[in-house]
Structure 1
Amino acid sequence: MAITKDFKPNKLSDYLEATGLKGKNFKFVDDLSKEGLLSLFKAAEVLEPYWRSKLNIMNGKVLCTMFFQPSTRTRFSTETAMIRLGGSVITESDPSHNSSVAKDESLWDTLRVVSQYANIIGLRHPDDKQVFEALPAAEVPVISCGWGNITHPTQGLLDMYTVYRAFGRFEGLRVMVTSPDLTRARSGHSFALGLARMGAEIVYSGPKNLKTPDLIKGKLNDMGAKYEEHFDLNKKEQGELITTCDLVYLPGCSVPVGQDARDVFMEKAANYYIDLETLEKAKKKTGKIIGIMHSLPRFKGEFDFRIDNTEHELYFKQISFSVAIRMALIASMIGIS
């Protein structure tokens, strides 16, 4: 570390301000610059000791969470983050039935109304196009807590923050994003956009007819990202590709409803199954411990649950880092004096 004219003790407000997020919506991870992301991670490090206790920097501020889709981790960690910051939470976990949306109120009107009650909104919604059309109605910052199949940036942030805390860097890392359906892998896309911004190399693996959406690839291309795509690999080929990576990310694509659709999906998923032996062989061959990451919830056909009790497991550790990074995000978007 070199001595510079800016050398001084850490100050939370400086890191929060440097993100450039105050008063803005958070739609995609690449809304942030590399410097902005690093500032957010540094703010999270300052806040990390308080993820199980409490600060009082959001006293009098209110977060409203509206989740049009089921959620455990994203909703609870976002609400917990606000509470740990000293703020308050109002929430609706089923607005399609319990809010005026059930009486045909538009999302536009809902966001405008809720803006009168809250200082910030956390929104999960199945239709990203509808959200983007309604977003201008919000008079307070809105966090994407998962919109459509495209974007889930707070998940991407906690995944990135986990990598930052584990490795302290992104440059030189090779990260696989793999799923039997990359068209619905919004957490994987958000993670990839963040990785690209920070200079990591991305390796996609999935079926050719269910590949990464053009919108995401367009963003990656605009950033000059280092990424490659592999299609329809068999289990052996998938295992060999995993060995070349530092991390493997599973976006937690849900199994389709209906027996026929489920059977087709599970047949595809078999080629992307990760077993403990593959990781152990890679460690013996290269000396490298390959981390397994997952946005959760998981299903049995994705990977070997024996990984839970090994050094390769990162998916439960990711949860531990989720509150601190969301504390930093909320505080950045609202701002502190």
Structure 2
Amino acid sequence: MYHAISTDDFTRSTVERLIRIAEEFRVSPRHILRARLQGTLVATLFYEPSTRTRLSFEAAVARLGGNVVGAENARENSSAKKGERLADVFRVVGAYADAIVIRHHENDEIAAALPYSPVPVINAGAGSGEHPTQSLLDLYTLWREFGRIDGLKVCMVGDLKYGRTVHSLLRLLTRFSGIRVTLVSPAELALPPSLHRELVDAGLELDVADDLDEALASTDVVYQTRIQRERITSELTAEDEEDFAILPRHLPILAPTARILHPLPRVNEIHLEVDGDERAAYFRQVQNGLYIRMALMDEILGGVLR
């Protein structure tokens, strides 16, 4: 059974295969796509708020001909409110659906409950831990924007401590060669030391920078992230946050071929005026998420029908 719980579940060849499938689906006639997962049923369980991830998974399944049942805000509006264990949720929901897509507020609960699921489980974000399918769409975006992933210089900016999208993307970048990453964040939101060591041991080149302007001048990719105020305990002022925001004045600093990515939602960390620049790729990134998740769901659920 093929789960997608962690970036550990994806090799370089898996990522490249999913990118090829996503590219095929992008140009395939809709009536052909709708036949691929016809008759399947996917359950989406979101214990934390979501817009892009939930809707893109549901749209992916629908575009492939499958059906979706779901629970939004499941932390408050399901039996979780009564204390039901996630293992029991998997047993129950797995009796109804062919696969489960879940976002959870705890880092490790999905993995702990996984042995109890009778159907494939896809991690749609777990606490401040991982968000593996976001990293898939991030890599797909890099491939579409640059025609390659190897050899890119990436600048990670913002909340690197709690940003699960950052954690997953950095782990998947270790599958590729010649990647150099510069980390720029408030001191209290730096990358966790244990993850920093893990990435270095895996061969990723990591630098830490204090000067955002200097880091932007020498990068191919800016991966900007939101300060996750719902997870932090320290007080960051608006002025503190602006020190790590992408503003119109930064655009002349960036190389003409550079790209700005953001997993969204965006608050104040990228100025609205930046959106009109061709190097702002974050809304193209959103669209890429639909196709890469279509590819993933086809891979996972294909065995149900074929």
Q: What TM-score do the two structures reach when normalised by structure 2?
A: 0.91
Q: Match of 1:271?
A: 243
Match of 2:14 among 36, 48, 71: 36
CA distance in 1, matches of 2:85, 2:161: 27
The answer to whether the aligner puts 1:46 opposite 2:46 as a matched pair is no
CA displacement, residues 38-62 of structure 1 (integer Å, 9 cap, x when unaligned): 1111111111125977421111111
CA distance in 1, matches of 2:98, 2:119: 6
- Any conservation in 1 of the 2:156–2:223 contact (CA below 8 Å)? yes
CA distance in 1, matches of 2:36, 2:200: 39
- Any conservation in 2 of the 1:186–1:251 contact (CA below 8 Å)? no
CA distance in 2, matches of 1:85, 1:46: 13
RMSD (CA atoms): 2.1
- Any conservation in 2 of the 1:176–1:248 contact (CA below 8 Å)? yes
Alignment of structure 1 residues 10-29 onto 2, 5 Å: 23-29=1-7
CA distance in 1, matches of 2:34, 2:127: 33
Q: Which amino acid aligns with 2:278?
A: E
Measured at CA, do residues 215 and 25 of structure 1 come closer, stay the same or move farther in structure 2, by a change above 3 Å? farther
Alignment of structure 1 residues 1-337 onto 2, 5 Å: 23-50=1-28, 54-179=33-158, 181-199=159-177, 200-230=179-209, 233=210, 237-256=211-230, 264-283=236-255, 288-300=256-268, 302-336=269-303, 337=306
1:90: how far off?
0.6
Q: Which amino acid aligns with 2:253?
A: K
Structure with the bigger percentage of helix = 1
CA displacement, residues 223-282 of structure 1 (integer Å, 9 cap, x when unaligned): 21222223xx2xxx2111111100100133333499x955x2533312212222322234
Higher mean alpha-carbon deviation, 211-220 vs 241-250, is at: 211-220
CA distance in 2, matches of 1:245, 1:96: 40
CA distance in 2, matches of 1:141, 1:156: 19
CA distance in 1, matches of 2:275, 2:25: 27
Q: Which amino acid aligns with 2:220?
A: D
CA distance in 2, matches of 1:257, 1:121: 26
CA distance in 2, matches of 1:217, 1:30: 16
Larger Rg: 1
1:102: how far off?
2.3
SS of corresponding position for 1:149: coil
Q: Which amino acid aligns with 1:162?
A: T
- Any conservation in 1 of the 2:182–2:206 contact (CA below 8 Å)? yes
Q: What TM-score do the two structures reach when normalised by structure 1?
A: 0.83
Measured at CA, do residues 110 and 40 of structure 1 come closer, stay the same or move farther in structure 2, by a change above 3 Å? same
CA distance in 2, matches of 1:56, 1:159: 27
Q: Which amino acid aligns with 1:205?
A: V
May I ask how many residue pairs the two structures share in their alignment? 302
